[in-house]
Amino acid sequence: MLLKDKVCVIAGAASLRSIGYATAELFAEHGAKVVVVDLMMDEQVLASIKSRIEAQTQKPVSVHGFRCDISKSEDCEQLVKNVIDLHGTMDCLVNSAGIVRTQSMLDMTEKDIDVMINVNLKGAFNLCQSALRVFAKQKSGTIVNVSSAAAQRGGGLVGGAHYAASKGGVLSLTKSIAREFGHMGIRANAICPAMIETAMLDGLPPERLGAIIDAIPLKRTGTTKEAAGVCLFLASDLSGFVTGATIDVNGGSHIH
């Protein structure tokens, strides 16, 4: 039980196939009070998440959910207020919400760039800022931001330059938070996944997928559970002296 009674907010968890959902399930298994958040969250989605987590963990779990558009700062402020009204505190934020678009830079419109930056980078900023208002008061809290290997290698697998740049911004944001808030006992870290089996890989043609897998040293795609495991490490006291770090979850596809 690495997160017993810890209030953990996980954004980007609407799909049962997502990294966010797998993180919520693993955190609940470890005793967390889980709050799942997504643009697509509604009562039906929440009920499916709750029943799947209960089926997997075989025990009563604390799972609540809120709809939030992370690109809107007022939504993020309201979300954190709702969490505090519900649980009285908040211990951890995992931001796994995001979008991906595969486009050549020459084909991107200004709107394409705005949407990408607004969700992936400004959204991460908004969520972290709202969480940090609480964390700074209580002088504790952990943040795990889900970036991407695209940030490190200049895209090239899934996602165009706007995606890679937005995720690069998430890494800089995470390091800045770690530096600014470390003296308060607040930690912030990022993970850089690649080729994790979620809806984000659905659009890849089989021959392209095969070629990418062939270039991965572990010769396979990753599971959402494997990404969730690293989030658990970073959210829990196991990583108590780790902050500002970027952890790769990529099967060795980018070793640096």
Ligand X SMILES: NC(=O)c1ccc[n+]([C@@H]2O[C@H](COP(=O)([O-])OP(=O)(O)OC[C@H]3O[C@@H](n4cnc5c(N)ncnc54)[C@H](O)[C@@H]3O)[C@@H](O)[C@H]2O)c1
Q: Which amino acid is located at 59 in the chain?
A: K
Joined tokens for residue 229: 């495991």
Interaxial angle between packed helices 19-29 and 43-57, expressed in degrees from 0 to 180 and rounded to the nearest 10: 50
Which residue, 92 or 195, has its beta carbon nearer to ligand X? 195
List the catalytic residue out of 21, 27, 135, 163: 163
Distance CA 57, CA 17 (A): 17
189 sits in which H/E element: strand 186-193
* 113: phi then psi, degrees, rounded to nearest 5: -70, -45
- Out of 71, 126, 130, 142, the only residue in the binding site for ligand X (CB under 6 A) is 71
- Out of 121, 132, 196, 247, the only residue in the binding site for ligand X (CB under 6 A) is 196
Q: By CB under 6 A, which span of 58-66, 95-103, 133-141, 205-213 interacts with ligand X?
A: 95-103
Position 99 contacts ligand X (CB under 6 A): yes
- Is position 163 annotated as part of the catalytic site? yes
Residues in binding contact with ligand X, number by CB under 6 A: 31
CB atoms closer than 10 angstroms to residue 111: 8
Span 49-68, contacts to ligand X by CB under 6 A: 68
Position 97 contacts ligand X (CB under 6 A): yes
Q: Are 204 and 223 in contact (CB under 8 A)?
A: no
User: Residues 140-159: x/- map of binding to ligand X (CB under 6 A)?
Assistant: ------x-x-----------
Position 90 contacts ligand X (CB under 6 A): no
Catalytic residues: 163
